[in-house]
Amino acid sequence: MNGQLDFARSLADSSTPRLTGGLSATRPAPAPAPPAPPASVADSPTAPLASSAKNPITPPPPQQQEDPLAILLTTLSADDGESILSIAVEEARDDARDQLGHRFGHAATSTSSGAGTGKRQAGRVYGGSQGGNIHVWDLATLSLRSRLTGHEGAVLALQLVPERDWLVSASGDGTIRVWHTPTLSLVYLIHPPHDNTGDILSLAWIPLFAGCQDTSIQVRLHGSPHSPPIFKTPSRFFDSLTDADRAKSRVGAGVSSSSGRHSLSTSTTTTTTRKLEPHTVELQFDADCIAPFAHHGYVVQLHTYCHRLTSFFFFCDASQAGDENINLWQPGLDDLALLATLESEYDAVLAFAARDNTLFAGHQGGVIKVWDLDSLTCVRILRPHSHDILALSVLSSSLFSSAANGTVQRWDLRTFRLGGEWLAHDNIVLASDVRTLRRSRTQGWLLTGGNDATVKIWDVRDDDVTSPLSPLDRGFQGEILISFVSYRTIADAEHREECRQGALYLKRVLREMGAETNLLPGAPGKNPVVLATFRANAPPKPATTPRRKRVLYYGHYDVVSATASERWDHDPWKMSGQNGWLYGRGVTDNKGPILAIAAAASGLRRRQELEVDLVMAIEGEEETGSAGFQEAIKRNRDLIGDIDVILVSNSYWIGEDWPCLTFGLRGVIHATLQVQSSRENLHSGIWGGATAEPLTDLVRILASLTAPDGTVQIPGFLSDVRKLTAAERKLYETIVQRCQGGSTISDPLQSLITRWRQPALSVHKVEVVGPAQKSLIPSAASAAVSIRIVPDQSLADIISKFKAHLMATFATLRTENKLTVRFFFPTADWWLGDLESPYVSAMAKCISAQWHLDPLFIREGGSVPSLPFLEQEFGAHAVHFPIGTSSDNAHLPNERIRVLNLEHGQTIVSKWLTRIAEI
The CATH number of residue 896's host domain is: 3.40.630.10
The CATH number of residue 791's host domain is: 3.30.70.360
Q: Is residue 409 part of a domain?
A: yes
- Mean pLDDT of all residues in the chain? 79
Per-residue pLDDT at 290: 61
Least confident of 437-441, 447-451, 834-838: 437-441
Closest to 439 in 3D by CA, of 488, 394, 473: 473
Least confident of 140-144, 216-220, 563-567: 216-220
pLDDT of 717 higher than 90: yes
- The burial of 215, by beta-carbon neighbours within 10 Å (0-12 exposed, 13-18 middle, 19 or more buried), is given as buried
- Specify the number of domains making up the chain: 3
Mark whether 291 and 338 lie in a shared domain.
yes
Q: Distance between CA atoms of 203 and 302, rounded to whole angstroms?
A: 6
Least confident of 47-51, 90-94, 333-337, 379-383: 47-51
Mark whether 694 and 553 lie in a shared domain.
no
Q: Is residue 488 part of a domain?
A: no
Q: Which domain holds residue 502?
A: 497-665+831-918
Per-residue pLDDT at 733: 94
Q: Is residue 513 part of a domain?
A: yes
Q: Which of 788, 808, 828 is the last residue of a domain?
A: 828
Q: Which of 801, 828, 855 is the last residue of a domain?
A: 828
Per-residue pLDDT at 80: 83
For residue 192, is the peptide bond before it cis, meaning its omega torsion is within 30 degrees of 0? no
240-249, 769-778, 864-873, range with greatest mean pLDDT: 864-873
3-state secondary structure of 586: coil
pLDDT, tens digit, 9 for 90 and up, residues 820-831? 999 987 789 999
SS3 labels along 235-304: HHHHCCCCHHHHHHHCCCCCCCCCCCCCCEEECCCCCCCCCCCCCCEEEEECCCCEECCCCCCCEEEEEE
| Residue 624 Cα distances to 554, 633, 826, 884, angstroms | 16, 18, 10, 21
Q: Is residue 761 part of a domain?
A: yes
Using CA of residue 718, residue 719, residue 720, residue 721, what is the dihedral sign? positive
Q: Is residue 293 part of a domain?
A: yes
Give yes or no for a contact between 360 and 354, defined as CB atoms under 8 angstroms apart.
yes
Mark whether 589 and 692 lie in a shared domain.
no
What DSSP element (H or E) covers 520?
strand 516-520
Q: Does residue 771 or residue 471 have the better pLDDT?
A: 771
Q: Is residue 490 part of a domain?
A: no
Mark whether 801 and 731 lie in a shared domain.
yes
Mark whether 17 and 47 lie in a shared domain.
yes
Per-residue pLDDT at 588: 97
CB-based contacts of 607, cutoff 8 Å, min separation 6: none
Mark whether 575 and 634 lie in a shared domain.
yes
Least confident of 95-104, 178-187, 453-462, 618-627: 95-104
Mark whether 711 and 658 lie in a shared domain.
no
% of the chain with per-residue pLDDT over 90? 53
Mark whether 658 and 675 lie in a shared domain.
no
Mark whether 794 and 861 lie in a shared domain.
no
Section 161-165 average pLDDT? 90
Give yes or no for a contact between 530 and 519, defined as CB atoms under 8 angstroms apart.
yes
The pLDDT-based confidence of 509 (bands split at 50, 70, 90) is very high
| Residue 675 Cα distances to 157, 590, 668, 798, angstroms | 74, 38, 23, 21
Per-residue pLDDT at 4: 38
Full DSSP string of 531-542? EEEE---SPPPT
Q: Which of 828, 860, 880 is the last residue of a domain?
A: 828
Give yes or no for a contact between 490 and 499, defined as CB atoms under 8 angstroms apart.
yes
Q: Is residue 485 part of a domain?
A: no
Q: Distance between CA atoms of 171 and 209, rounded to whole angstroms?
A: 14
Least confident of 259-268, 272-281, 546-555, 859-868: 259-268
| Residue 778 Cα distances to 682, 684, 706, 757, angstroms | 7, 10, 25, 39
Section 850-871 average pLDDT? 95
Mark whether 841 and 820 lie in a shared domain.
no
pTM, entire model: 0.78
Least confident of 99-113, 574-588, 673-687: 99-113
pLDDT of 703 higher than 60: yes
Closest to 654 in 3D by CA, of 662, 663, 646: 662
Mark whether 397 and 255 lie in a shared domain.
yes
145-159, 263-277, 280-294, range with greatest mean pLDDT: 145-159
The CATH number of residue 49's host domain is: 2.130.10.10
Q: Distance between CA atoms of 253 and 245, rounded to whole angstroms?
A: 10
Q: Is residue 474 part of a domain?
A: no
Q: Does residue 390 or residue 210 have the better pLDDT?
A: 390
Mark whether 793 and 812 lie in a shared domain.
yes
Q: Distance between CA atoms of 843 and 661, rounded to whole angstroms?
A: 8
